[in-house]
Protein backbone atom coordinates (compact mmCIF):
# COMPACT_ATOMS: atom_id res chain seq x y z
CA UNK A 1 0.00 0.00 0.00
CA UNK A 2 1.33 3.47 -0.84
CA UNK A 3 1.46 5.89 2.10
CA UNK A 4 0.30 9.45 1.35
CA UNK A 5 2.96 12.00 2.24
CA UNK A 6 2.06 15.34 3.89
CA UNK A 7 2.87 17.03 0.57
CA UNK A 8 0.39 14.76 -1.30
CA UNK A 9 -2.29 15.74 1.20
CA UNK A 10 -1.58 19.45 0.70
CA UNK A 11 -1.60 19.09 -3.08
CA UNK A 12 -4.88 17.15 -3.08
CA UNK A 13 -6.61 19.70 -0.84
CA UNK A 14 -5.58 22.54 -3.08
CA UNK A 15 -6.50 21.01 -6.41
CA UNK A 16 -9.02 22.90 -8.48
CA UNK A 17 -9.55 23.13 -12.19
CA UNK A 18 -9.24 26.35 -14.15
CA UNK A 19 -13.00 26.26 -14.73
CA UNK A 20 -13.72 25.86 -11.01
CA UNK A 21 -11.49 28.82 -10.19
CA UNK A 22 -12.99 31.03 -12.89
CA UNK A 23 -16.59 30.19 -11.96
CA UNK A 24 -16.07 30.88 -8.25
CA UNK A 25 -13.99 34.00 -8.96
CA UNK A 26 -16.77 35.44 -11.17
CA UNK A 27 -19.52 34.64 -8.64
CA UNK A 28 -17.67 36.05 -5.61
CA UNK A 29 -16.32 39.18 -7.31
CA UNK A 30 -19.83 39.90 -8.61
CA UNK A 31 -21.37 39.46 -5.12
CA UNK A 32 -18.92 42.06 -3.83
CA UNK A 33 -19.33 44.62 -6.60
CA UNK A 34 -15.87 43.96 -8.03
CA UNK A 35 -16.81 42.54 -11.47
CA UNK A 36 -16.05 45.68 -13.43
CA UNK A 37 -12.68 46.10 -11.74
CA UNK A 38 -11.52 42.58 -12.63
CA UNK A 39 -13.18 42.27 -16.06
CA UNK A 40 -10.70 40.85 -18.58
CA UNK A 41 -8.15 40.14 -15.81
CA UNK A 42 -9.55 36.81 -14.59
CA UNK A 43 -6.75 34.81 -16.23
CA UNK A 44 -4.12 36.84 -14.34
CA UNK A 45 -5.83 36.08 -11.02
CA UNK A 46 -5.94 32.38 -11.94
CA UNK A 47 -2.22 32.43 -12.78
CA UNK A 48 -1.49 34.23 -9.50
CA UNK A 49 -3.40 31.56 -7.55
CA UNK A 50 -1.46 28.80 -9.33
CA UNK A 51 1.90 30.53 -8.74
CA UNK A 52 1.12 31.02 -5.03
CA UNK A 53 0.24 27.37 -4.49
CA UNK A 54 3.29 26.18 -6.38
CA UNK A 55 5.64 28.49 -4.41
CA UNK A 56 3.88 27.65 -1.13
CA UNK A 57 4.53 23.94 -1.74
CA UNK A 58 8.26 24.54 -1.04
CA UNK A 59 8.35 27.89 0.81
CA UNK A 60 5.65 28.95 3.24
CA UNK A 61 4.24 32.34 2.26
CA UNK A 62 0.58 31.94 3.23
CA UNK A 63 -1.62 29.77 5.45
CA UNK A 64 -4.64 30.36 3.20
CA UNK A 65 -4.45 27.89 0.33
CA UNK A 66 -8.01 26.70 -0.31
CA UNK A 67 -9.91 28.07 -3.32
CA UNK A 68 -12.63 29.99 -1.38
CA UNK A 69 -9.99 31.43 0.97
CA UNK A 70 -7.69 32.56 -1.84
CA UNK A 71 -10.51 34.30 -3.68
CA UNK A 72 -12.16 35.96 -0.67
CA UNK A 73 -9.38 36.58 1.88
CA UNK A 74 -6.56 37.35 -0.51
CA UNK A 75 -8.01 38.62 -3.80
CA UNK A 76 -11.32 40.31 -2.89
CA UNK A 77 -10.04 41.68 0.42
CA UNK A 78 -7.04 43.26 -1.35
CA UNK A 79 -9.36 44.89 -3.87
CA UNK A 80 -11.47 46.70 -1.23
CA UNK A 81 -9.10 49.69 -1.42
CA UNK A 82 -8.91 49.80 -5.25
CA UNK A 83 -11.67 52.40 -5.55
CA UNK A 84 -9.81 54.82 -3.27
CA UNK A 85 -6.69 55.05 -5.41
CA UNK A 86 -6.51 58.17 -7.58
CA UNK A 87 -5.74 57.56 -11.26
CA UNK A 88 -1.98 57.03 -11.74
CA UNK A 89 -1.35 56.97 -7.96
CA UNK A 90 2.09 56.11 -6.59
CA UNK A 91 1.30 53.54 -3.88
CA UNK A 92 3.56 52.07 -1.17
CA UNK A 93 2.35 48.77 0.32
CA UNK A 94 4.08 48.42 3.69
CA UNK A 95 4.61 44.83 4.91
CA UNK A 96 3.29 43.41 1.63
CA UNK A 97 4.42 39.87 2.59
CA UNK A 98 3.60 37.53 -0.31
CA UNK A 99 2.06 40.44 -2.24
CA UNK A 100 -1.21 41.50 -0.58
CA UNK A 101 -2.76 43.88 -1.40
CA UNK A 102 0.08 44.71 -3.88
CA UNK A 103 -0.51 42.06 -6.55
CA UNK A 104 -4.33 42.15 -6.88
CA UNK A 105 -4.21 45.96 -6.94
CA UNK A 106 -1.48 46.01 -9.59
CA UNK A 107 -3.42 43.54 -11.77
CA UNK A 108 -6.75 45.36 -11.40
CA UNK A 109 -5.32 48.87 -11.69
CA UNK A 110 -2.56 48.96 -14.34
CA UNK A 111 -2.60 52.79 -14.14
CA UNK A 112 -1.06 52.81 -10.61
CA UNK A 113 2.48 51.90 -9.53
CA UNK A 114 3.13 49.96 -6.32
CA UNK A 115 6.34 49.91 -4.30
CA UNK A 116 6.01 46.67 -2.34
CA UNK A 117 8.02 46.85 0.90
CA UNK A 118 8.75 43.94 3.22
CA UNK A 119 11.70 42.81 5.35
CA UNK A 120 11.20 39.07 4.71
CA UNK A 121 13.29 38.05 1.69
CA UNK A 122 11.48 34.75 0.98
CA UNK A 123 8.13 36.53 0.71
CA UNK A 124 9.54 39.18 -1.61
CA UNK A 125 11.10 36.40 -3.71
CA UNK A 126 7.55 35.28 -4.44
CA UNK A 127 6.45 38.84 -5.25
CA UNK A 128 9.34 39.04 -7.76
CA UNK A 129 8.29 35.69 -9.29
CA UNK A 130 4.71 36.90 -9.65
CA UNK A 131 5.81 40.23 -11.15
CA UNK A 132 7.85 38.39 -13.79
CA UNK A 133 5.28 35.63 -14.36
CA UNK A 134 2.38 38.04 -14.79
CA UNK A 135 4.42 40.67 -16.65
CA UNK A 136 3.49 43.37 -14.10
CA UNK A 137 5.49 46.45 -15.03
CA UNK A 138 3.86 48.49 -12.26
CA UNK A 139 5.27 46.73 -9.15
CA UNK A 140 8.67 47.41 -7.58
CA UNK A 141 9.47 44.99 -4.74
CA UNK A 142 11.87 46.39 -2.10
CA UNK A 143 13.35 44.21 0.63
CA UNK A 144 13.88 46.52 3.61
CA UNK A 145 12.53 47.43 7.02
CA UNK A 146 9.79 50.02 6.71
CA UNK A 147 11.31 52.20 9.44
CA UNK A 148 14.63 52.32 7.52
CA UNK A 149 13.12 53.11 4.11
CA UNK A 150 11.06 55.92 5.63
CA UNK A 151 14.29 57.85 6.38
CA UNK A 152 15.58 57.54 2.80
CA UNK A 153 15.06 60.56 0.52
CA UNK A 154 13.99 58.08 -2.20
CA UNK A 155 10.85 57.11 -0.29
CA UNK A 156 10.10 59.72 2.38
CA UNK A 157 6.98 61.80 1.61
CA UNK A 158 6.92 60.44 -1.98
CA UNK A 159 3.65 58.46 -2.18
CA UNK A 160 0.03 59.39 -2.91
CA UNK A 161 -1.33 56.36 -1.04
CA UNK A 162 0.10 53.92 1.52
CA UNK A 163 -1.63 50.60 2.17
CA UNK A 164 -0.94 48.02 4.89
CA UNK A 165 -2.78 44.79 5.70
CA UNK A 166 -2.13 42.51 8.69
CA UNK A 167 1.20 44.11 9.62
CA UNK A 168 0.87 45.49 13.17
CA UNK A 169 -1.43 47.37 15.53
CA UNK A 170 -2.43 50.83 14.31
CA UNK A 171 -0.33 52.94 16.75
CA UNK A 172 2.80 51.12 15.46
CA UNK A 173 1.60 50.99 11.86
CA UNK A 174 0.91 54.74 11.73
CA UNK A 175 4.54 55.47 12.61
CA UNK A 176 5.79 53.05 9.94
CA UNK A 177 3.45 54.29 7.20
CA UNK A 178 2.68 58.02 7.53
CA UNK A 179 6.29 59.17 6.81
CA UNK A 180 6.01 57.69 3.28
CA UNK A 181 3.06 59.92 2.32
CA UNK A 182 3.14 63.25 0.52
CA UNK A 183 1.10 65.95 2.26
CA UNK A 184 -2.55 65.34 1.21
CA UNK A 185 -1.80 61.65 0.58
CA UNK A 186 -3.96 58.86 2.04
CA UNK A 187 -3.06 56.00 4.35
CA UNK A 188 -5.49 53.05 4.01
CA UNK A 189 -5.08 50.71 6.99
CA UNK A 190 -6.83 47.42 6.15
CA UNK A 191 -8.06 46.08 9.46
CA UNK A 192 -10.40 43.46 10.90
CA UNK A 193 -13.49 44.03 13.06
CA UNK A 194 -11.33 45.41 15.95
CA UNK A 195 -10.29 48.34 13.75
CA UNK A 196 -12.33 50.91 15.70
CA UNK A 197 -10.62 49.97 19.00
CA UNK A 198 -7.20 50.18 17.36
CA UNK A 199 -8.08 53.60 16.00
CA UNK A 200 -9.02 54.86 19.46
CA UNK A 201 -5.56 53.78 20.67
CA UNK A 202 -3.80 55.39 17.68
CA UNK A 203 -5.35 58.89 17.67
CA UNK A 204 -2.40 60.48 19.48
CA UNK A 205 0.15 58.83 17.17
CA UNK A 206 -1.75 59.90 14.06
CA UNK A 207 -1.81 63.54 15.23
CA UNK A 208 1.91 63.64 16.13
CA UNK A 209 2.83 62.08 12.76
CA UNK A 210 0.91 64.73 10.75
CA UNK A 211 -2.25 62.74 10.03
CA UNK A 212 -5.99 63.38 10.29
CA UNK A 213 -8.53 60.57 10.46
CA UNK A 214 -10.83 61.03 7.46
CA UNK A 215 -13.11 58.02 7.54
CA UNK A 216 -13.68 54.46 8.70
CA UNK A 217 -15.53 52.05 6.43
CA UNK A 218 -16.98 48.75 7.56
CA UNK A 219 -16.82 46.23 4.71
CA UNK A 220 -18.55 42.84 4.73
CA UNK A 221 -17.24 40.60 1.96
CA UNK A 222 -19.62 37.86 0.83
CA UNK A 223 -18.05 34.52 0.01
CA UNK A 224 -19.09 31.47 -1.98
CA UNK A 225 -22.18 29.49 -0.89
CA UNK A 226 -21.59 28.14 2.61
CA UNK A 227 -18.51 30.33 3.21
CA UNK A 228 -18.67 32.74 6.16
CA UNK A 229 -18.62 36.44 5.22
CA UNK A 230 -15.43 38.36 5.99
CA UNK A 231 -15.79 41.45 8.20
CA UNK A 232 -13.23 44.13 7.52
CA UNK A 233 -12.64 47.74 8.45
CA UNK A 234 -10.80 50.29 6.34
CA UNK A 235 -9.33 53.21 8.24
CA UNK A 236 -8.53 56.18 6.03
CA UNK A 237 -6.05 58.73 7.34
CA UNK A 238 -5.05 61.86 5.42
CA UNK A 239 -1.57 63.34 5.73
CA UNK A 240 -2.29 66.93 6.63
CA UNK A 241 1.26 68.11 7.48
CA UNK A 242 4.82 66.73 7.11
CA UNK A 243 5.89 64.06 9.59
CA UNK A 244 8.57 65.39 12.01
CA UNK A 245 12.03 64.15 10.92
CA UNK A 246 12.64 62.07 14.04
CA UNK A 247 9.87 59.59 13.06
CA UNK A 248 9.86 56.68 12.56
CA UNK A 249 12.05 55.76 15.53
CA UNK A 250 13.99 52.49 15.82
CA UNK A 251 11.57 49.51 15.76
CA UNK A 252 12.16 48.58 19.43
CA UNK A 253 11.04 52.06 20.51
CA UNK A 254 8.02 52.10 18.17
CA UNK A 255 6.88 48.75 19.54
CA UNK A 256 7.66 49.24 23.23
CA UNK A 257 6.63 52.89 23.48
CA UNK A 258 3.97 53.56 20.83
CA UNK A 259 3.18 57.27 20.49
N1 LIG B 1 0.32 42.27 3.90
C2 LIG B 1 0.49 40.85 3.70
C3 LIG B 1 -0.84 40.14 3.74
O4 LIG B 1 -1.83 40.76 4.15
O5 LIG B 1 -0.91 38.96 3.37
C6 LIG B 1 1.48 40.25 4.70
C7 LIG B 1 1.01 40.20 6.12
S8 LIG B 1 2.19 39.39 7.17
C9 LIG B 1 1.17 38.84 8.46
C10 LIG B 1 3.07 40.78 7.86
C11 LIG B 1 4.27 41.18 7.04
O12 LIG B 1 4.76 42.42 7.51
C13 LIG B 1 5.41 40.18 7.12
O14 LIG B 1 5.73 39.73 5.83
C15 LIG B 1 6.55 40.97 7.75
O16 LIG B 1 7.81 40.64 7.22
C17 LIG B 1 6.16 42.40 7.42
N18 LIG B 1 6.69 43.40 8.36
C19 LIG B 1 6.38 43.54 9.66
N20 LIG B 1 7.06 44.59 10.20
C21 LIG B 1 7.80 45.11 9.19
C22 LIG B 1 8.72 46.21 9.11
N23 LIG B 1 9.00 46.95 10.18
N24 LIG B 1 9.30 46.46 7.91
C25 LIG B 1 9.03 45.70 6.82
N26 LIG B 1 8.19 44.65 6.85
C27 LIG B 1 7.57 44.36 8.01
State the closest ligand 1 atom to the C-alpha of 74, by its place in the atom list counted from 1. 5
Stretch 67-93: mean pLDDT? 97
- pTM confidence score: 0.94
Please report which confidence band the pLDDT of residue 15 belongs to, taking 50, 70 and 90 as the band edges. confident
Report yes or no: 185 and 159 within 8 Å, Cβ to Cβ. yes
Question: Does ligand 1 have an atom closer than 6 angstroms to the CB of 145?
Answer: yes
Nearest to residue 253, comparing CAs of 177, 172, 152, 166? 172
Tell me the pLDDT tens digit for each residue of 165-205.
Answer: 999 999 999 999 999 999 999 999 999 999 999 999 999 99
Alpha-carbon distance of 144 to 95, in angstroms, equals 10
Stretch 11-37: mean pLDDT? 90
Task: Measure 97 CA to ligand 1 centroid, in angstroms.
Answer: 5
Question: Does ligand 1 have an atom closer than 6 angstroms to the CB of 9?
Answer: no
Ligand 1 binding pocket mutation candidate from 119, 163, 250 (most atoms within 8 A of CB): 119
Phi then psi dihedrals of residue 92, to 5 deg: -110, 130
Strand-pair partners of 242: none
Report yes or no: 96 and 118 within 8 Å, Cβ to Cβ. yes
Amino acid sequence: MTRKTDMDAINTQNTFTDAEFLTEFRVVTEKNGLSELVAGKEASFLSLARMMLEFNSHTNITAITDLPGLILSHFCDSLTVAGMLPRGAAVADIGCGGGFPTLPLAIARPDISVTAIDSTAKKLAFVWDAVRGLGLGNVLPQCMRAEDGAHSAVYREKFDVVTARAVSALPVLAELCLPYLKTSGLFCAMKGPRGAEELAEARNAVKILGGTVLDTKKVVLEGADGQAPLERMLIIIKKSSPTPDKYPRAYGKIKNKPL
